[in-house]
Structure 1
Amino acid sequence: MSPPVSAPESAAIGRGGLAAPPVAYGAAALGNLYQALGEEEWPEIVPAAWASGVRYFDVAPHYGLGLAERRLGESLRALPRDEVVVSTKVGRLLVPQDAAGRTDIDNLFDVPADHRRVRDYSRDGVLRSIEESLRRLGLDRIDIALVHDPDGHEREALEGAFPALSELRDQGVIRSFGAGMNQSAMPTRFVRETDGDVMMIAGRWTLLDQSAADDLLPAAHERDVTVLAAAVFNSGILATDAPGQGSTFDYGPADRSVVDRAQAIARVAHRHGRTLPELAAQYPLTHPAVGAVVMGGASAEQVARNSGLVARPVGDDVWGELRERGLISQEVGPARQAVGLEGHPVR
């Protein structure tokens, strides 16, 4: 593996004393998301992220029926634990079953279906989930625990999962907690009704979907809750510098209007000598509540490329033109001084 590099300047994540640079690695690919990774491929991913300055790694039992946690844990053993932030999730317990030759590809992971997921947001379910994640990761603590996709289970999460995570934080088993969801309304209620201090929002604070600006972001900023922006490419359309027909948006075919808007943003980027993926990675950081963007990658090259997207700061002239053209939301308040992976300020 590449030799460790000095960690770039970090920003606070939550209220538990954690800090990390503004790019985190989302480790779903380690669980064979969409396709299996070869034994010569996956061990290179975390070292590449580390060498690129990444210090925060996010995972979940859901990813590959525990495979992503096991692979991440194996990779982290070569790194200094005190310099790494690790988050995982609760809400889906893994129950063994006979795979009978089946794979989990219906759930997007190319692994044997030797476990099934059971939704459980109760106190006992959370305690069991954390214990099993610690075992798979090979760690003695988890930095951040997120309640995973409790859509349809809000009351159970409020009455079971969140109080249990608060207990675990008091005991030092975790440092911070919150939720990870693909919507902004419910995490906003969690900000107001719990003492969680980290919320991960996927696909709702991006160049193409700024709906979190209406509820989650102002609530989080008011309560000193850190927001982690995931799925900043909206499942693919913003990951390429030339989006076109056939692009995916929110895991389905992108409508013509969405493609047109992405192309319009790309044209503004090009006039300023920037790329659409650079803008997609940096735009979420313009809000003061956002502590990091969470990006994936199924190879060392992809991870290094994604990490580098925040190295050159996008200037206010770019954001200003996009606002004037109605392509992004209006000013959302004073942006925090985010720090790029090469130590540059990112506005």
Structure 2
Amino acid sequence: MALTLSRLGFGAAPIAGLYTPVDDDTAAATVDAAWDAGVRYFDTAPHYGLGLSERRLGRALAGRPRHEYLVSTKAGRLLVPDDSGRTDVDDGFANPATHRRVWDYTRDGIRRSLDDSLTRLGLDRVDLLYLHDPEDRMPDALATAIPALIELRDEGAITAVGVGSKDAAALTTLVDNGGLDAVMVAGRFTLLEQPALDELFPACETAAVAVVAAGIYNSGLLATDVPDPGGTYEYGPVPPRILDRARELAAVCAHHGVTLPQAALHYPLRHPLVASAVVGMRSPAEAAQNAVRLDTAVPERLWADLEERGLIPAGGASARPAPSAPSPTP
């Protein structure tokens, strides 16, 4: 991939009021804190808060040297005005629903999505454009959406083409089809579960496609030292067996003097295919905390212990060589 991403990426869904409201000042301060901690890769999407994430991220980055940071956003959903007065709570965002989402994987829809995103961001380009959540629209993804993204890259409108999904099988199919620079795999390569290792990672290695790991805390379950039965997993309640496994992971981590969130952040980054771990951040404290977690070393013995207990696959995070893809700075 012709981009170099910071190891810790900023996930901008929370600053758009994911689950609970976030005000403008807090959103701006959170981006500032991430920047001060060295984060230079920022990921957003029209879906996040019906464009609020893009608007807030663009304002927060305004005035910073454009060559010093990378921005990714996503295409596949257009935002259409909606004056019904409903809220966006059904899609997870605590805001009034001034627009509604309309799926559009056509060539014109993809191009319009990018143009709209650039307007909201206040930018003349984004570095990486992902096709968003294609798992239920694979024929359209293959026939029109991916070719439209590739066309934008060929024109120089974007630098890299990607796909973002929590469906490892769908991502594998699209990688095998060709033309991609990166995939964002959400929740499928984490300390808790690693189905992306089975077929997606080998496909990415063969095609020299970079991996961006998202959802590394599994919707928040791995974000606290001791997993809470009232927490969330897959954006819903935590099944008992999943909670038991997360607590077993936490206990082994604690035995080695490591917090569960610290291990959860380090684990995906150990794999040579993973270019960045994107973490959602909603406050300056969270941004600073994630930077500290990344900068705090994790003893190798922890990984060996987790492997011996069968809690992570043997060699799963470090067994394969890195692909030989060019990675000049932008």
- For the aligned pair, the TM-score class normalised by the smaller chain equals over 0.9
Report the Cα distance in structure 1 between the residues aligned to 2:131 and 2:25, rounded to whole angstroms.
Answer: 32
2:184 aligned with 1:200: yes
Give the structure 2 partner of residue 51 of structure 1: 36
| 1:107 shift after superposition | 1.1
Q: Secondary structure, in 3 states, of the residue corresponding to 1:307?
A: helix
Displacement of 1:182: 1.1
Preserved contact between residue 69 and residue 136 of structure 1 (Cα < 8 Å): yes
Deviation digits for residues 274-327 of structure 1 (CA, Å, limit 9, x no counterpart): 111011001111221111111011111111112222112323211111000000
RMSD, aligned α-carbons: 1.4
Q: CA deviation at 1:130?
A: 0.6
Task: Give the match for residue 312 of structure 1.
Answer: 296
1:191 aligns to 2:175 (yes or no)? yes
Asked if 2 retains the 8 angstrom alpha-carbon contact of 1:177 and 1:198, the reply is yes
Q: Superposed, which structure 2 residues align to 1:116-131 within 5 Å?
A: 116-131=100-115
1:222 alignment partner, one of 180, 198, 206: 206
Higher alpha-carbon deviation: 269-278 or 257-266? 257-266
Normalization by structure 1: what TM-score?
0.89
Find 1:162's aligned residue among 146, 171, 180: 146
1:292 matched to 2:283:
no
Letter in 1 for 2:254: H
Q: Which residue is 1:143 aligned to? A: 127
- SS state at 2:162 partner: strand
Per-residue CA shift, 1:190-246, capped at 9, x if unaligned? Answer: 111021111001110011111111111121122111111111111111000011422
Tell me if the contact between 1:22 and 1:291 (Cα under 8 Å) persists in the aligned partners.
yes
- Partner letter of residue 41 of structure 1? T
Is 1:246 matched with 2:242? no
Taking the TM superposition and a 5 Å limit, the aligned residue runs for 1:29-108 are 29-98=14-83, 100-108=84-92
Task: State the TM-score, normalized to the length of structure 2.
Answer: 0.94
Equivalent residue, structure 2, for 1:259? 243
User: Quick one: higher RCO (CA 8 Å, sep 6+), 1 or 2?
Assistant: 2
Residue 327 (structure 2) aligns with: none
CA offsets per residue over residues 94-118 of structure 1, 9 Å max, x none? 11121x3322111111222121110
1:211 aligns with 2:195: yes
Q: Please give the alpha-carbon distance, in whole angstroms, between the structure 2 residues aligned to 1:123 and 1:150.
A: 15
Name the residue aligned to 2:13: 28
Instruction: Give the secondary structure class of the aligned counterpart of 2:287.
Output: helix
Percent same amino acid at aligned positions? 48
- C-alpha displacement at 1:151, in angstroms? 2.0
Superposition deviation, residue 34 in structure 1:
1.6
Q: Partner amino acid for 1:218? A: P
- Using the alignment, how far apart are the partners of 1:178 and 1:72 within structure 2? 20
Change (3 A) 1:222 1:315: farther
Give the match for residue 268 of structure 1.
Answer: 252
Task: List gaps (5 residues or longer) in structure 1.
Answer: 1-14, 338-347
Q: Conserved in 1, the CA contact under 8 Å of 2:178 and 2:207?
A: no
The equivalent of 2:326 in structure 1 is: none
Per-residue CA shift, 1:15-42, capped at 9, x if unaligned? Answer: 22x1122110110022221222123311
CA contact (8 A) 2:44 2:54 kept: yes
Deviation track 1:39-59 (CA, whole Å, cap 9, x = no partner) reads 331110111000011000000
C-alpha distance in structure 1 between counterparts of 2:241 and 2:53, whole Å = 36
Contact 1:26/1:59 (<8 A) preserved = yes
Q: In the alignment, which residue of structure 2 is the partner of 1:345?
A: none
Q: Which stretch has the larger CA shift, 281-290 or 318-327?
A: 281-290
